[in-house]
Amino acid sequence: SYPSHKEDLLTEEASVSLSSALGTNAVVVAGVHFDRIDRHGIERVIENSRLLTKRIIARLQDGTKEGKP
C-alpha cells in the first residue's frame, strides 16, 4: 500500500461487515483513484462503499435463503 492510498480502510470495513453478516471468512480487494478528490468526495466514496457492501450482503443472504450458493 502506498502512503497516499487508503483503500485498506474501505476493504477492512467491508470484509468485517461481510464476514459478520454471512458467518464466514471474507476477502475484499479494491483499488480507488481520484485526482484531487476533496473531503466531500472522500465522504461520498466511503458512503457508496458502505451502501454497496450492504447490497452485496442482502443479495448473498437472499441467495442463501433460496438454496443458491
Q: pTM here?
A: 0.81
Per-residue confidence band for 65, with pLDDT thresholds at 50, 70 and 90: low
Residue 63: pLDDT band (50, 70, 90) is: confident
Q: Which residues of 49-58 are buried (b: 16+ CB within 10 A; e: fewer)?
A: beeebeebbe
| pLDDT computed for residue 68 by the predictor | 54
More confident residue, 6 or 17: 17
3-state DSSP assignment of residue 24 = coil
* Phi and psi at residue 30, to the nearest 5°: -150, 155
Provide the b/e sequence for 19-28 (b: ≥16 CB within 10 Å).
eebeeeebeb
CA pair distance 4, 35, nearest whole angstrom: 12
Locus of grid cell 476477502: 27
Band (pLDDT 50/70/90 cuts) for residue 6 is confident
